[in-house]
């Protein structure tokens, strides 16, 4: 399922008056999560799951092909952890 499928399914679920509003709402939904993650804020959605940021420290790694040492800078990585509600539904 893609984002446009998601929008269509939500429109079909209810007869919303304005389909454009549904489209914009779905976009805003994901943009709000992205903005929080950019600001390193955790996103907690009860029954669904939580999104957050983990920091990876700088380290020295090796290029597996050439064997030369490369410096890997610190970086931030997003993660998702499913919530209790989702866990229960997927493990019935």
Among residues 41 and 62, whose Cβ is nearest to another protein? 41
Q: Is 32 in the site for another protein (CB under 8 A)?
A: yes
19 binds another protein, rule: CB under 8 A: no
* Token pair listed for 38: 């950019």
Packing angle, helices 3-13 and 19-38, rounded to 10:
130
Query: Least separation, in Å, of the C-beta of 67 and another protein?
Result: 27
Token duo for residue 53: 């940021």
User: CA-to-CA distance for 65 and 84, rounded, in angstroms?
Assistant: 43
Rounded CA separation 27/7 (Å): 9
Token digits of residue 68:
């030369």
Taking the least distance from each CB to another protein, the nearer of 38 and 62 is 38
Give the SS3 label for residue 42: coil
Among positions 44, 59, 62, 84, the unique one binding another protein when judged by CB under 8 A: 44
Interacting residues toward another protein by CB under 8 A: 1-3, 6, 9-10, 13-14, 16, 18, 21-22, 24-26, 28-30, 32-34, 36-38, 40-49, 51, 53, 75-80, 82, 86, 89-91
């Amino acid at each position: 399922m893609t984002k446009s499928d998601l929008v269509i399914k939500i429109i079909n679920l209810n007869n919303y008056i304005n389909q454009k509003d549904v489209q914009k709402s779905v976009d805003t939904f994901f943009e709000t999560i992205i903005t929080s993650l950019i600001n390193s804020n955790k996103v907690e959605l009860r029954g669904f799951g939580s999104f957050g940021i983990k920091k990876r420290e700088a380290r020295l790694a090796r290029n597996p092909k050439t064997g030369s040492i490369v410096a890997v800078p610190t970086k931030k990585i997003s993660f998702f952890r499913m919530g209790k509600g989702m866990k229960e539904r997927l493990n019935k």
